[in-house]
Structure 1
Amino acid sequence: MSSTNRAPAASHAGRPAGKSPLSVQSENGSVTTGAASYRYRNPILPGCHPDPSICRVGDYYYLVTSTFEYLPGLPIHRSTNLVDWVPIGHAIHRPGQLDLSGIPSSKGLYAPTIRHHDGTFYVVCTVVSPVVDGEPSWPGRAGHFVVTATEPEGPWSEPTWFEGFDGIDPSLTFDGDRVWLCGNRLAQPGLWPGQTDIWLTELDPATLAPIGEVREIWRGASARAVWAEGPHIIARPGGGWMLVAAEGGTNRNHAVCVAYADDIAGPYVGDPGNPRLTHRDLGDRVPIADVGHADLVEAPDGRWWSTMLGIQTIDGENGLLGRQTHLVPVEWEHRQPLFAPGSGRVEPAMAAEGVPDQQPAPTEYRDDFDAPVLDPAWTAPRILPDTFADTVARPGYVRLTATPTEPSGLGPLAFLGRRLPDHRTHAAARIELAGAVRGGLLLRTSESAYLELTVDRRGVGRAVLADDGVEMTVGEVSGIHTEGIDLAIDVDGLTARLTIGDTHLGEVDLRPLASGRPSMFVGSWIGVMAVGDGVVDVDHVTLRVAP
């Protein structure tokens, strides 16, 4: 059973109000100050993991996040303690499930929800199409769908599509033998720009086909509220239901608001203390900004917790990592949720009862491609990596078959990438080229914002930065042997140092890649690419987080 339908929680103390988030790392992995012991650090997953949704089955927690244009899509993570997570698979993981061909960055797979009921896992999500002049401009299938599995590792089913529903951010709620689907959509007609409605309908529990009317249950907590989204309906301790929704847009005005109803179909009445969690009053100076899009889960001991997205800032500016998954404890006071009780803030270091000291995060990842299959953390925009990446053709290497698609294009790009794990990351690769091909490292936020460090078959190495679709050459070197080429991008906050072999090509300002620009919902990915007609053999890729 999903943890959203369990008994009331006990109340426990949170971090004392007023304690400084400044801390030092201890030998056992906990973070300490002279006044308090901090059990874990936020974010709880490295790199870009937006729109987290969580559920519990027995002693295990399961988490899913958005992936937009990347495949495999919708990663599933598992944990026994909420602070240490292991990736176990993807809900979209094989050819034929979804076709994202030609989908642009920051479209595609939006805001999934994961739930479990009666032996089955459910992930609902939306494929979002670009819109031009009010009409979809992408020929692929868009809309809400659900996939199911009996084991969270998969295999996951083919999508079942929900016809006739607009908007984004679908969520399921199970109430005994009844099942409900909610989501959001732009109000028609809207009374003000950005007005959205949260809607609800009942589904047939066997077929998941809609069987009830679609009713509007919420328009936001504040007057002229914008972008009420990310809804989840959970059983409220003590009876009734609670709607948890985001508001204000996924930026500095993001917030978590709640509303209550005796019946799941409403009417819903807003909490007089809304927003229940936000950093909108902290502006740019806070280390974690844009907090919102929350989901809740109850632990076996009766404590409650919430996941939510937030973005890490660097000197008041958005960094490269995009929207990430964070965790805070939740207590109930007068039947109202207190997020991060005692502070009401999502801190980089958190003190909380009910979780162990978080294990230290790995500081280095190296893939020598010795395994017969790719690490599932490798993804690609719009296509599955195994369509162009071969680990068998040359043992100890991954062979990338180049495509003609440039990093600026919307075709199948032979880019084997993974989430940039930290704002201070050394990324290195050794490659060999064969054919009329260009290959090397790519730091990618979108097809209009990327940093390319590559060598072509003529032995010419170049560093190119794309800023809002305009490419600029950062540095160039010639006379490079095309066997055993070493390339490195050293990311340090919002700058990067670029090296090919022993040649330093310069430093570059990475602000054009920072998340938060219009339509840029995705953080940065780092990896190897191949463009042209030929192959690039990759001996290894190393990502090392600086201390």
Structure 2
Amino acid sequence: MSQITNPILPGFNPDPSIIRVGDDYYIATSTFEWFPGVQIHHSRDLIHWKLIGHPLSRKSQLDIKGNVDSGGVWAPCLSYDNGTYYLIFTDVKSHFGGFKDTHNYLVTATDIKGPWSEPIYLNSSGFDPSLFHDDDGQKWFVNMVWDHRKGKNRFGGILLQEYSEAEKKLVGPIKNIFKGSELGLTEAPHIYKINGWYYLMTAEGGTRVNHAVTMARSRSIEGPYEVDPENPMLTSANKAHLTLQKAGHGSLVETQNGEWYLAHLCSRFLYPSERSILGRETAIQKCEWSEEGWLRVVGGKHGDAQVKVQAPNLPEHPFVKESPLDDFENKELNIHFNSLRVPIEDSWASLTERPGFLRLYGRESLNSLHRQSLIARRQQAFNINVETVVEFEPDSFQQLAGLIYYYNTKNYYYLHVSHDEDLGKCIGILSNTKGIYDEPSEGRLSIDSWDRCYLKAEIREADLQFYYSSNGTDWIKLGPILDATTISDEHADQFVNGYILDQGFTGAFIGMCVQDLTGRNLHGDFDYFKYEEIE
């Protein structure tokens, strides 16, 4: 019997929304401040998955320049009805303190690979929106409502309103249909109609170690909803022995053969730090319906999230393994590359100005929420080797180019080429940890006679070691072993007296970047990028 190995989407692929269209399965996941917006993965067997696209690829669809760290696209919901794909998403402008600015939109397409439409604005009352297509043709929009008032339940329940496809807007009364269970922090609503019941699936407990999937049901879409008596139906809370922690935020799909599977968020810790450098990932569990009509995880005691899961009765459909090397010979960037907040455009990232190279024009600093020249990809395994080579001729200490290991504007390590008044062209390491700048090495070293500089990072779970080379063969260590776990959700979180100063929801990225703080836009040319996962 074939097995699924979790997580199915490793490395910063949270908040899964799964659907089946014919024999094809698709999962949409959150992308936050990274552009383009929303990842779509494809499978035909629930075992093997392939990234096939990003629906929000134009600034007119997603304008997140200036959005806060871990803002941007939260919890997309993918659905399909009568030949059309629907994608609902939240653009989060701010999320610290009492208030959250959360704007909800809808885009559509007749092909999963696009083109996707311009967005239709829906509302701003909360986040985690989804769209339910009822069997009578009505469409219903749900989202959690955020209550900023002191002394109130900030997660104020699940709002329901009808969506008019003809008018392209929400219409009719707004009703709060579910205030949540005793677990609290009720979010991520999805509605399913099965055997005459409306099932409301939510996430509760918060998206950290107490995360959970809750089920409730009603004969009417407006409620009242009764909560599963064995609630929650999936959680890792108080189960430190489980590999998959933070289990919650689920989405349900039925196979062609009547089998049921739950895609859900999870995370894997490094110990003893209990930090997750790969961020929140996507796993899947096989489920069945009890005699009383409640969803249960197959083989998981008390809703445990399992690493090995029985695969559905479908032919296996593996995909061709991707090459670890990108030599920048193609006309378009590798689908795994993302930029921060703004589209990748020839004005600052070009594959054509020098064929065979990625040319990045230096813009703002790594602290910027607006115009960074940074191209990176997710870290998707605990043990990786990454290398690149850059040609860069700085004449100022304000010009930098190199290899970046990045979480957000306050947490990163940067192996870079720059200029020093005494050393000329030089190489060094700089870092930011909870917003505190540092240079964690013996200082800059001169490479003044080098035309190009090869850069490498070796990550072995919690350990990060940088290297540099003049020829790509003879590697020299630079700096000490660094703590890779600072590039994690848990390290990014900062609370003082219960007040959120900073909070992270993403994961580790590694890639290339150039800064020119003089404003002269000096460019760096990268000849290749190699990302290799180590067994």
Moved more, 123-132 or 225-234: 123-132
Check whether the contact 2:384–2:531 (CA below 8 A) recurs between aligned residues.
yes
Match of 2:406 in 1: 444
Moved more, 342-351 or 372-381: 342-351
Cα gap change, 1:340/1:439 in structure 2, threshold over 3 Å: closer, same or farther?
farther
Give 1:367's match in structure 2, choosing from 326, 331, 337. 326
SS across alignment from 2:345? helix
Match of 1:271 in 2: 228
Which whole-Å CA distance do the structure 1 matches of 2:384 and 2:418 have between them?
A: 25
Which whole-Å CA distance do the structure 2 matches of 1:175 and 1:364 have between them?
A: 43
Q: Once the two structures are superposed, what CA deviation does each residue of 1:256-292 show, in whole Å capped at 9, x if it has no partner?
A: 0000011112111111110001010213x43211010
Cα gap change, 1:190/1:262 in structure 2, threshold over 3 Å: closer, same or farther?
farther
Give 2:453's match in structure 1, choosing from 471, 485, 510. 485
Match of 1:425 in 2: 384
Give 2:466's match in structure 1, choosing from 498, 503, 526. 498
Match of 1:511 in 2: 485
Which whole-Å CA distance do the structure 2 matches of 1:148 and 1:104 have between them?
A: 26
Structure 1 residues 333-352: aligned runs within 5 Å: 333-334=290-291, 335-343=293-301, 344-352=303-311
Check whether the contact 1:321–1:523 (CA below 8 A) recurs between aligned residues.
yes
Deviation of 1:351 (Å): 3.1
Check whether the contact 1:340–1:346 (CA below 8 A) recurs between aligned residues.
no
Structure 1 residues 91-130: aligned runs within 5 Å: 91-130=55-94
Match of 2:184 in 1: 226
Match of 1:471 in 2: 437
Which whole-Å CA distance do the structure 1 matches of 2:218 and 2:96 have between them?
A: 38
Match of 2:498 in 1: none
SS across alignment from 1:287? coil
Deviation of 1:190 (Å): 7.1
SS across alignment from 1:522? coil
Check whether the contact 2:83–2:110 (CA below 8 A) recurs between aligned residues.
yes
Deviation of 1:508 (Å): 0.5
Check whether the contact 2:46–2:311 (CA below 8 A) recurs between aligned residues.
no
Match of 1:459 in 2: 425
Give 1:311's match in structure 2, choosing from 257, 267, 271. 267
Q: Once the two structures are superposed, what CA deviation does each residue of 1:146-194 show, in whole Å capped at 9, x if it has no partner?
A: 001110101111110013x411000000013100000101247676554
Cα gap change, 1:60/1:310 in structure 2, threshold over 3 Å: closer, same or farther?
same
Q: Gapped runs of 5+ residues in structure 2?
A: 470-474, 494-502
Check whether the contact 2:71–2:95 (CA below 8 A) recurs between aligned residues.
no
Which whole-Å CA distance do the structure 2 matches of 1:489 and 1:446 have between them?
A: 18
Q: Once the two structures are superposed, what CA deviation does each residue of 1:59-94 show, in whole Å capped at 9, x if it has no partner?
A: 111111000101011021111111211222111012
Which whole-Å CA distance do the structure 2 matches of 1:357 and 1:495 have between them?
A: 36
Residue type of the alignment partner of 2:485: R
Q: Gapped runs of 5+ residues in structure 1?
A: 1-36
SS across alignment from 1:314? coil
Deviation of 1:205 (Å): 2.8
Which whole-Å CA distance do the structure 2 matches of 1:296 and 1:103 have between them?
A: 31
Deviation of 1:356 (Å): 5.5
SS across alignment from 2:482? strand
**1:523 aligns to 2:507 (yes or no):** yes
Check whether the contact 1:331–1:341 (CA below 8 A) recurs between aligned residues.
no
Residue type of the alignment partner of 1:148: T
Which whole-Å CA distance do the structure 1 matches of 2:350 and 2:268 have between them?
A: 35
Deviation of 1:434 (Å): 3.5
Deviation of 1:376 (Å): 2.3
Structure 1 residues 532-543: aligned runs within 5 Å: 532=516, 533-543=521-531
Q: CA RMSD in A?
A: 2.0
Which whole-Å CA distance do the structure 1 matches of 2:64 and 2:342 have between them?
A: 7
SS across alignment from 1:511? helix
Cα gap change, 1:132/1:42 in structure 2, threshold over 3 Å: closer, same or farther?
closer
Which whole-Å CA distance do the structure 1 matches of 2:361 and 2:215 have between them?
A: 50
Deviation of 1:456 (Å): 1.2
Which whole-Å CA distance do the structure 2 matches of 1:504 and 1:523 have between them?
A: 25
Residue type of the alignment partner of 1:365: P
Residue type of the alignment partner of 1:254: H
**1:80 aligns to 2:44 (yes or no):** yes
Which whole-Å CA distance do the structure 2 matches of 1:274 and 1:355 have between them?
A: 31
Which whole-Å CA distance do the structure 2 matches of 1:450 and 1:362 have between them?
A: 29
SS across alignment from 1:169? coil
Check whether the contact 1:47–1:421 (CA below 8 A) recurs between aligned residues.
yes
Structure 1 residues 135-150: aligned runs within 5 Å: 142-150=102-110
Deviation of 1:503 (Å): 2.3
Match of 2:157 in 1: 197
Which whole-Å CA distance do the structure 2 matches of 1:39 and 1:359 have between them?
A: 13
Residue type of the alignment partner of 2:75: A
Deviation of 1:462 (Å): 1.2
SS across alignment from 1:162? strand
Check whether the contact 1:380–1:416 (CA below 8 A) recurs between aligned residues.
yes
Structure 1 residues 317-328: aligned runs within 5 Å: 317-328=274-285
> TM-score if structure 1 supplies the norm length?
0.87
SS across alignment from 2:172? coil
Give 2:119's match in structure 1, choosing from 153, 159, 166. 159
Cα gap change, 1:210/1:353 in structure 2, threshold over 3 Å: closer, same or farther?
closer
Check whether the contact 1:39–1:355 (CA below 8 A) recurs between aligned residues.
no
Deviation of 1:134 (Å): 4.3
Check whether the contact 2:148–2:154 (CA below 8 A) recurs between aligned residues.
no
Which whole-Å CA distance do the structure 2 matches of 1:471 and 1:482 have between them?
A: 28
SS across alignment from 1:292? strand
Q: Once the two structures are superposed, what CA deviation does each residue of 1:189-229 show, in whole Å capped at 9, x if it has no partner?
A: 6765544311111111323322221111112221xx43100
Q: Once the two structures are superposed, what CA deviation does each residue of 1:439-473 show, in whole Å capped at 9, x if it has no partner?
A: 11111111001111111143211112211011221
Moved more, 472-481 or 387-396: 472-481
Residue type of the alignment partner of 1:537: D
Match of 1:293 in 2: 249
Which whole-Å CA distance do the structure 1 matches of 2:527 and 2:2 have between them?
A: 40
Check whether the contact 1:196–1:226 (CA below 8 A) recurs between aligned residues.
no
Deviation of 1:477 (Å): 3.9
Cα gap change, 1:131/1:41 in structure 2, threshold over 3 Å: closer, same or farther?
closer
**1:254 aligns to 2:211 (yes or no):** yes
Q: Percent identity?
A: 29
Q: Report how many aligned residue pairs link the two structures.
A: 501
Residue type of the alignment partner of 1:490: E
Deviation of 1:55 (Å): 0.8
Check whether the contact 1:319–1:493 (CA below 8 A) recurs between aligned residues.
no
